[in-house]
Structure 1
Amino acid sequence: MKAAALAYKPVGLLLGVAGGAAAGALFRQSWKLVTHGDDAPEATDKDRAWREILLAAAVQGAIFAVVKATVARGGAHVVERVTGRWPQ
């Protein structure tokens, strides 16, 4: 059990970094597609409405959560294949 947990730590860390970068890129592209080219608003952008700011934050959070879960689950499957045990 310890081997699987130890094997998962570096794999999980690397996948987390890659997943975060992928989620950020996916969010930016999704936002531009939905808004026809506008960049996602920053929370402190005075010229953007509350609705737009909060919608962007909700969409970004959802994308990051799905990517994080997908990456973590995939990494656990890889560790299980390599070590024969599910990381905990």
Structure 2
Amino acid sequence: MTHSGGKPHNVGDKGQRYEVLANGYPTDQDDNVIGWTETLDGAERMMSAILKAPGCTSASIFDRQEKVGVIKLYAEGSCDD
């Protein structure tokens, strides 16, 4: 049973501050939204995990409150040309 009794409802970020994005996973496109979190620590852990996914070349964290990129990391063995 859903919290809205089966009626359509909003799902997703629920106003969380940090957005985690990945390049090359799960699609070949850039900036695939992986998820959202309220804490920077949570975003860093999510980013670290997604960098291990096959095809993922890089991942980044975007601070939606300050509207700035926080960090971008590259997967082991990849390069950014």
TM-score of the pair, normalised by structure 1: 0.27
- Specify which structure has the higher proportion of strand: 2
Q: Rg larger in 1 or in 2?
A: 1
TM-score of the pair, normalised by structure 2: 0.29
